[in-house]
Structures are given as structure tokens and as C-alpha cells.
Amino acid sequence: MFFNSIAFAIFLPIVFFLYWFVFNKTKSTQNALLIIASYYFYSCWDWRFLFLLVFSTFLDYYTGIQIEKGKSEKSRKFWFWLSIIVNLGFLGIFKYYNFFASSFSDLLNSAGIKASPILLNVILPVGISFYTFHGLSYVIDIYYKRIKAEYNFVDYSLFVSYFPLLVAGPIERATHLLPQVKVKREFNFETAKEGVYQIIWGLVKKVVIADTCATYANAIFDHYTSMNSFSLIMGAIYFAFQIYGDFSGYSDIALGVSKLFGLDLLRNFNYPYFSRDIAEFWRRWHISLSSWFRDYLYIPLGGSKGGLWMKIRNTFIIFVVSGFWHGANWTYVVWGFINAVYFLPLLLSNSNRNNMDAIVLKWNFDSAKVIMSILYTFLLTCIAWVFFRASTITDAFSYLKRIITDRHFGSQYLENERYNYELLLLIGVFVLVEWNNRNKVEPLSGKKSLLKLSLAIAAILAFGTYSDYKEFIYFQF
């Protein structure tokens, strides 16, 4: 069930009505309804994997209690590592087994040893990377005594399987969401209105921007060998806006839907393409994942407190692992490696936290430098996105090489019989709207909100009628 589907447009109002008018007596009834709705929502993808979700939920619930009750460090470690190993084991089997088996087989074949890998014919359970990380952070926090174990199974189950964040995040923390599900929610009209605005803006990002850019980006990347330099540059830009509109659009819808039920989720995007350097970009892009790796991997490894070698090592580990988290393909690993290379000079010069303030532009030289920094950061990001989007590392290098060597900048028709720069006006308007509202959660509220809301809905209906794309990119992760 996609957020941008008719089925969800029917599902959401029904759950909303039941939540506030039928199951509104106590916190327990509210949570029970959201659990049922979440399990139904997840079963619409593939009901068989619902058992995996329930098992993962029970595993972390039970091990969390055992860790807290453990009378010895040996007992606590046993339950802690049981949860870690089983969780990562399931993730490894479903997401990475075929990748490692094929890669090892290719390595043997390149050495002259014939090998045929035994591959698993299984599909990746949707959302497994996200709900696994929900559970891992919960168990880790209990082990290090940052939080207490949750003894109410319904409350904990809702924390893990809450449907707005279940399949593509944001990756929630028990310290943030669990306290909210443990108290009865009261309806707040202003909060609900904010949620509706955020849902609509998320749909604009997905349907109007991401899905339209996907038409052009796919046509260019799938036929890059026949494209000239100009088209290839446009293809990289279109994909940059496709993945941003797609994923941040999903996050906006998830946060907006959650506000309808009186629950606040972590913000996942903060206008990342207005970043002045790569460090700032990663503070603004997929914030819940970046902060997860910072808190549960980078800092435990020593962070940046050690010597020069430790700083370099930890930086590359966190970026490469982050890349590998996105998928079982060497292209994601290289994408993570490239971002580590981008980040390293900032870290070594202690300038990775220079741009912590809000962006304010005036008619002076400093503002011109800020604009150039934003454009330069966006250029670096687009180069890295080529590896993220390409099917193989060879394709990515060939794509970039052709940009440099072709040196033809005329307009080209694509298979859909459109000029490939036709989207530039739409993207330009979108960028201006986001820029003017960069200090807001979404651009639709405030002055003339009814007019802006009407225009947004009209754009969604107009572009959605002809859209061939439904699935969100991050569902595959």
C-alpha cells in the first residue's frame, strides 16, 4: 500500500475516524488500533513477512527485559549479543547473502577456480532495514543503561511497527517515540492541520517532482551511451531531484500522517541541497540514519577523539557502512566511499562544523561565496549520485567519462518525445519555493495557505494522472 495510492487514501480516513471517535477512550485502545492498522498496512505488501516483523518485535522486547533483569554482566552480554546477532543475521540473509555469495564466486572465478554460487530465491522484506535498526537502537540503549526496558508489549510493538515509519523511516529512537505512545493522545486541530499541509507537500515532492524527474532520469541513465554531455548532466540533476523528492516526500507524508494521530516523528530532511559543504549536507540529509550511525557506530569506534589515523578510519567506516546499508551492490559502497573522500578534508581541517548557522543572503561578496559553496556542494553530490543510480561501477565511470569526452551540448529528444531540459522550469520553481521557505517544515502553511494548498492539490492531480511511477525508491532498502 503506497502513500500515493487510492488504497491509502481510503485506509487513512478510516483509521483516523476509528482512532479519534471509537478507540479514543484510553491509551491502550488507541495503541491497539494503531497496531492492527500497522499490521494490516504491512501485510498489504506481503503477509508472509508479517511473521518476521512480529518475531523481530518479540525478540527485542524479550531480550531488552532480560538485559535489564540480568544479575551478571555475562548474562546481560548474552542477551545483548543474541539480539544483535539474530537481528543482523536476518538482515544479512535476506539482504546481503546473494551479494556476498556472488561476489565470492566472482573472486574465485577471476582466480581461475570455477565456482557456482548457491543463491536464495527470496524477496527482500519491505522495511527490514528500518525496523531492524529501531530494535537495535532500543536494545543497545538498554544495555548501556540509557533507557529502561519496556514491559508493555503493545506499547513496544507500536514503537517498532507504527505504520507511517514502518517501511521507509524515519528511524525512530525509543527515547523519542516510546514516551509518546505510553500516554493517551488528545486531538489537536492545529497539529492535525499542520499534518495535512505536510502530507500535501510530501505528495507534491513525490508526484510532481520525483515521478516527473524519474521519467527523464531513467530515459537518460538507461541509454547513456547515446546521450551527449548536456543530456548526461541533466540526467544527473534530474536523478538528484528524483531521489530527494521521492525520499523526503515519503518522510513528509510519514510525519504529516503521524501528526494526525497526535504523534511526533523525527525530522528526516532539512533542505539538504542548500548545504554549503558536505558535512552540512549530511546533517540535513536522511537525518535519522546519519545520527543513528553517528551514535551507534562512529562514537563507539572512538569518533574523532583519537589520533589522525583513528579519525580517518572511523570516517571511512561510517560512510562505507552507510552506503552498504542502502543495498547489496558495490555501487552503494563506492557511493559511500566517495562521500567519505568529500568529508575527509573538512574533518582534518576541523571545519566540518563551520556551517551550523542558518543561511542569510545579502547583496554582498560573502553572499556570493555562500551561493558558490551551495552550487559546488550540489555538484559534488550529483557526481556521487551517479554511482548510486548506476547499475554497475563500470556504468558510473562510463557515464561520467562520456560527460567529459563527448562535449556536445545540444538538446536531444528522449524516447518519450520530449526535450530533456523541459523539466528545468518546474525544478526552478520548486527550488525557489523551498528556498523561500527553508526555515519552515513545509511551504504551504502561513499566508495565503488556502491558495497554496489549492495549487498544490491541482498539481498533484495534474501530474499524478499521467504518472507511471508509484513505488518509493527507499522501499528497496
**Which of the residues are catalytic?**
326
Give me the DSSP letters along 364-382.
SHHHHHHHHHHHHHHHHHH
Please give the Cα distance from 409 to 421 (Å, whole number): 11
Please give the Cα distance from 386 to 335 (Å, whole number): 8
Please give the Cα distance from 203 to 470 (Å, whole number): 11
3-state secondary structure of 468: coil
Among candidate residues 467, 389, 470, 411, the one with its CA nearest the CA of residue 221 = 389
Backbone angles phi and psi of 103, in degrees to 5: -65, -40
Residue positions counted in the chain? 477
Query: CB within 8 A of 439, min separation 6: which ones?
Result: 358
Helices assigned H by DSSP within 127-223: 128-143, 153-161, 163-166, 174-181, 189-203, 211-222
Note every long-range contact of 13-16, with CB atoms under 8 Å and residues 24 or more positions apart, other chains counting.
16/260, 16/261
Q: What value, to the nearest 5°, has the Cα angle with vertex 87 and ends 84 and 89? A: 100
Residues 196 and 370 sit within 8 Å (Cβ to Cβ): no
Bridge partner list, 413: 419
Among candidate residues 96, 261, 119, the one with its CA nearest the CA of residue 183 = 261
Please give the Cα distance from 220 to 216 (Å, whole number): 6
From residue 61, give the alpha-carbon distance in Å to each of 47, 58, 114, 296: 22, 5, 45, 19
Bridge partner list, 419: 413
